[in-house]
Amino acid sequence: MSSGNKTPDGSKLDRVVADARRNREQREKSYRERALKLYPWVCGRCAREFTHANLQMLTVHHKDGNHDNNPSDGSNWELLCLYCHENEHARYLDQAGRGDAGDGQREQQATHKPFAALEALLKRGKQSS
């Protein structure tokens, strides 16, 4: 009896993954090259200047966080050094961890206070002993 589940074809899966990686690399290469032609080779945060010798340390940051939003005028990009780029993403994660939605709105905070009456309970316990 057949259960209806087919085992995935490993070679087909490998091809799909390889194609996806190749497409991503081509997409990244195209917007990086365009950004490097549009903007001076200077970090938009710390103003460090780059040359051909250290250009690999200059990255393209998507201002809106969408790596598929690559307008031809470069309006969603800024060039950042590796350190500033990492810091920018860490700040975003820190905001998300605090409940910031990133668009100026805050998630609803918990209002339940489980230990609000603890002091009164402790006082009452001391009085009865």
What is the structure's pLDDT at 94? 75
Name the pLDDT band for 23 (thresholds 50, 70, 90): confident
Number of domains in the chain: 1
Task: Give the predicted TM-score (pTM) of the model.
Answer: 0.54
- Contact between 64 and 54 (Cβ < 8 Å): no
For residues 83 and 21, what is the distance between their CA atoms, to the nearest angstrom? 25
Q: Give the pLDDT band of residue 80 (cuts 50, 70, 90).
A: very high
Q: Residue 112 domain-assigned?
A: no
Predicted pLDDT of residue 53: 96
Show the tokens assigned to 4: 């209806």
Tens digits of residue pLDDT in 84-107: 999 998 887 777 776 555 555 555
Domain of residue 93 covers 12-102
Distance, in Å, from the CA atom of 20 to the CA atom of 5, rounded to the nearest integer, reads: 25
Residue 118 domain-assigned?
no
Residue 35 lies inside a defined structural domain of this protein: yes
Does 113 fall in a domain? no
Task: For residue 25, give the CATH number of its domain.
Answer: 3.40.1800
Tell me the pLDDT of the chain averaged across its residues.
81
Per-residue pLDDT tens over the stretch 108-128: 566 767 777 778 888 887 776
What is the three-class DSSP state of 59? strand
pLDDT of residue 62: 93
What are 107's two structure tokens? 């998630």
Please enumerate, as own/partner, the contacts of 22-26 that have beta carbons within 8 Å and a separation of 24 or more: none
